[in-house]
Amino acid sequence: MHLFARVGVVTLFGMAASAAQAQDLPAPGAGAPAPVAPSDPAATSAPADPGAPPPPTKAGPRPPRRGDFDAGGQLRLPSGPDEMGAFASFNWVAVDAVGRYYLLDTVTVTGRAPLAIVRPDTVGGAGGGAIEPAMVGGVDVALRAALPKGPFAPTRYKTDVALTVSGAYARAGAMLLGPKDYPLFVGDFEPGLTAGLEARVKLSSLVDFVTTPVWIYQRGDVESVSGVQVPMTAVVALGSLVKVSADLAVNTGDDYAFGADDGGRIAAGGSLTVKLGPILTHVGAGTASLLAGGVYPTVTDGIYLDLDVKYAK
Q: Confidence band (pLDDT; 50, 70, 90) for 288? A: very high
Cα angle vertex 201, ends 270, 313, to 5°?
70
> What is residue 58's predicted lDDT score, i.e. its pLDDT?
55
Task: Identify whether 91 is part of a domain.
Answer: yes
pLDDT of 57 above 70: no
pTM: 0.74
pLDDT of 244 above 60: yes
Q: Confidence band (pLDDT; 50, 70, 90) for 220? A: confident
Task: Identify whether 1 is part of a domain.
Answer: no
Task: Identify whether 181 is part of a domain.
Answer: yes
Count of domains forming the chain: 1
Q: Are 82 and 91 in contact (CB under 8 A)?
A: yes
Task: Identify whether 175 is part of a domain.
Answer: yes
Tens digits of per-residue pLDDT, 38-48?
Answer: 545 444 445 55
Task: Identify whether 38 is part of a domain.
Answer: no
| Coil vs helix vs strand at 233 | strand
Q: Are 121 and 134 in contact (CB under 8 A)?
A: no
Q: Bigger pLDDT: 73 or 142?
A: 142
Task: Identify whether 18 is part of a domain.
Answer: no
Tell me, what CATH number does 106's domain have? 2.40.160.40
Average pLDDT of the residues in 4-17? 41
Q: What percent of the chain has pLDDT over 70?
A: 77
Task: Identify whether 225 is part of a domain.
Answer: yes
Q: Are 244 and 285 in contact (CB under 8 A)?
A: no
> What is residue 51's predicted lDDT score, i.e. its pLDDT?
55
Plot region of 29 (φ>0 → left; ψ -120 to 50 → alpha; else → beta)? left
* Residue type at position 11: T
Q: For the chain, give the mean pLDDT.
A: 83
Q: Confidence band (pLDDT; 50, 70, 90) for 223? A: confident
Range from 1-5, 143-147, 176-180, 187-191 carrying the lowest mean pLDDT: 1-5
| Coil vs helix vs strand at 10 | helix
Let me know how long the chain is: 313
Structural domain harbouring 155: 69-312
Q: Confidence band (pLDDT; 50, 70, 90) for 16? A: very low
Task: Identify whether 269 is part of a domain.
Answer: yes
